[in-house]
A and B are shown apart, each in its own frame.
Chain A
Amino acid sequence: MAATRLKCRECATEYPLEARYVCSQCFGPLEVGYEHERYTDVGALRRRIQGGPQNIWRYHDFLPLEGPQPRTRTGLPAGCTPLIRADRLAERLGLGEVWVKNDAANPTHSFKDRVVSVAATRARELGFDTLACASTGNLANSVAAHGAALGMASYVLIPADLEEQKILATGVYGTNLVKVRGNYDDVNRLCTELSGDRENWAFVNINMRPYYAEGSKTLAFEIAEQLGWELPDRCVVPIASGSLFTKIAKGFGEFIDIGLIDGELPTMNGAQATGCSPVATAFAAGHDFCRPVKPRTIAKSLAIGNPADGPYALDLARATGGSIDAVSDQQIRDGIRLLAETTGVFTETAGGVTSAVLQQLAERGDIGPDERVVLVITGEGLKTLDAVRNSFEDYEVDPTIESFEEAFAESVHV
């Protein structure tokens, strides 16, 4: 394995590759460090990746796993989701080139399958038999499903007021589903406390968080590969904790360092809901740290009021000439419709946030006419149906030609 250590992002203290997520010296987050071999023949490396399995394990050289056979590592392979050229969306927004990375096309219909695949596989390598997580919904689906596929017990803790679709699509896998009377930050606090006492549990986004976060890099790897080993000029990515946002950049950076792609990091634009926008607020105020907030938004999968990677998301947006924007609940609903009507992709509220921020950037004139933009769509619209309820009109007719024509005659003349 090319991964060699865990390293504190704040004070650079190093630790072995074990189930540890926080620096005991300064409480900073730990990140996986690698020492890659010098790839002298980039073409051969590209061909090796292209010849790999149609899932994230084609990038296993760049993930923190030890196991031998990528194909057999997990029962629920994630990744290799479509990158769709969205000309109609680009035209609607007056942009040159827009691509939609549709990560709803994962086994449990969100990007979380990437991070959970890596965390669960690493958890098995470290000898854990139980998975657990604090979730805003999509992670719950994925941890429960991976537990089922891998034959591991699982404990999934969620806010009690989560969307019904996400609760049902978790419980069906036979997990221990725990509804906590509180918001996500309360759930996260409880799980952080629990993880100190349940040493045989792999909390994917707590004690396994360094490995888990690495899974998000595969989104960048795929985007680069699907663009023909080229970089986009700009990525628009939703921000909850900020982990996805920062790890996508880390993925591009690693491919640039290895020589697999040429160029500089894309401009990184983060997307939040106004009702939970601690990172966007800090960005606008010029702060380098986020003040926690109490979330009030329909974008529940982004409703993290105390974002762990907020400071790094701020640094990244500024370093790449990007921004972190926020949009209202109505803009989120409109964003879902915009994406659906122009691309045929039905996304959940988080994707509505991302789409609406793309629109906001376009209207503000931030995006140049020759830019290649990638919109990262992280989840599936069927999981947040309330967001589109009553957002369109339909027709109800008798099963007769007359009734049908009457309905449409009326609609034409109205």
Chain B
Amino acid sequence: MAITVKLPTQLRDAAGGVTSVQAEGTTVGEALESVFAQHSGLRDRLYQDGGLRRFVNVYLGGEDIRFLDGLDTAVPAGGELTILPAVAGG
């Protein structure tokens, strides 16, 4: 079963206007690579020097992946990842 990756409004123009993408993989990093394979314009928006840009937050089931294992965090089949800007709030 695929992983659902929800995109924030700021990324939808680079993904053909969709609000979410179905991805494959067993970790957050693999799932994101699967997203980039479908929408190549997203890689530079989210990644810098091979890792997530510092103002990008990724959540697995509502939990920030930095509290888990980062890009190595295991994602169950049918899991949901949410990408959001980090600069909100305060």
Contacts and interface: CB of A to CB of B under 8 A. Distances in A.
B88 A209 contact: yes
B86 interface: yes
Interface string B38-81: 00000001101000011111010010101100000000000000
A243 B87 CA distance: 10
Given A193-B82, A306-B64, A188 B88 contact: yes
Contact of B13 (A21, A22, A24, A188): A24
A32 to B, nearest CB: 14
Interface string A198-212: 000001011001000
Interface in B1-59: 8-11, 13, 45-46, 48, 53-57, 59
- By secondary structure, the B interface counts as mixed
A292 B59 CA distance: 13
B54 A22 contact: no
B62 A189 contact: yes
Nearest to A20: B10
Given A10-B55, A291-B66, A292-B67, A28 B45 contact: no
A304 to B, nearest CB: 6
B85 A292 contact: no
Nearest to B48: A26
B70 to A, nearest CB: 11
- By secondary structure, the A interface counts as loop
Given A24-B10, A292-B66, A292-B67, A304 B55 contact: no
Nearest to B46: A27
A209 B87 contact: yes
Contacts of A24: 10-11, 13, 45
Contacts of B8: 192-193, 196
B61 to A, nearest CB: 12
A22 B10 contact: yes
Q: Residue among A25, A134, A306 with the most chain B CB within 10 A?
A: A306
Given A192-B84, A308-B86, A27 B62 contact: no
Interface string A279-292: 00000000001011
A18 interface: no
B88 A308 contact: yes
Given A27-B53, A292-B64, A306-B64, A188 B87 contact: no
B89 A184 contact: yes
A27 B89 contact: no
Nearest to B6: A193
A242 interface: yes
- For chain A, give the interface size range: 35 or more
Contact of A311 (B54, B57, B64, B84): B54
B58 to A, nearest CB: 11
A54 B66 CA distance: 46
A329 interface: no
Nearest to A207: B88
A193 B84 contact: yes
A196 B84 CA distance: 10
Given A22-B10, A306-B57, A28 B88 contact: no
A62 B86 CA distance: 27
Q: Residue among A28, A134, A191, A309 with the most chain B CB within 10 A?
A: A28
A185 interface: yes
Interface string A180-192: 0000111011011
A25 B62 CA distance: 24
A11 to B, nearest CB: 10
A172 B13 CA distance: 41
A191 B88 contact: yes
A171 B13 CA distance: 39
Contact of A192 (B13, B55, B64, B88): B88
A185 B64 contact: yes
A266 interface: no
A29 B87 contact: yes
Given A189-B59, A289-B54, A21 B89 contact: no
7 contacts: A22-B87, A24-B10, A191-B88, A193-B8, A291-B66, A308-B87, A309-B87
Given A192-B85, A209-B87, 7 more contacts: A24-B45, A26-B45, A27-B46, A27-B55, A191-B89, A196-B8, A292-B67
